[in-house]
């Protein structure tokens, strides 16, 4: 079981109703999905910002060899 926190947040009623209609869930499910989506988007942005900045990348031939070991 994951650790959970109870929060109180104020959001515009129309925004919440729209999100709940689109998700098909209740308030809690909609907020959880929105937070998970936000975290995923932020992580993706950080990862994309690193594009091309890997120092001393491993040789692709070595990485391809690892596929064959499995």
* Within-domain flag for 7: no
* Within-domain flag for 34: yes
* Within-domain flag for 8: no
Q: What is the pTM of this model?
A: 0.67
Nearest one of 46, 21, 45, 23 to 33, comparing CA atoms: 23
- Total of domains in the chain: 1
pLDDT, one tens digit per residue, over 17-61 is 999 999 999 999 999 999 999 999 999 999 888 887 767 777 877
pLDDT at 61: 79
Residue-number span of the structural domain to which 46 is assigned? 13-69
Q: Which residue has the higher pLDDT, 66 or 11?
A: 11
- Strand segments, DSSP code E, in 3-66 are none
* Within-domain flag for 45: yes
CA distances, 60 to each of 26, 55, 57, 63, 66 (Å)? 47, 14, 8, 5, 10
């Amino acid at each position: 079981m994951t650790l959970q926190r109870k929060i109180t947040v104020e959001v515009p009623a129309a925004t919440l109703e729209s999100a709940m209609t689109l998700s098909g869930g209740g308030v809690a499910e909609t907020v959880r999905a929105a937070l998970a989506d936000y975290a995923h988007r932020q992580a993706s942005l950080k990862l994309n910002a690193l594009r091309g900045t890997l120092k001393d990348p491993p040789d692709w031939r070595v990485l391809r060899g690892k596929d064959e070991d499995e």
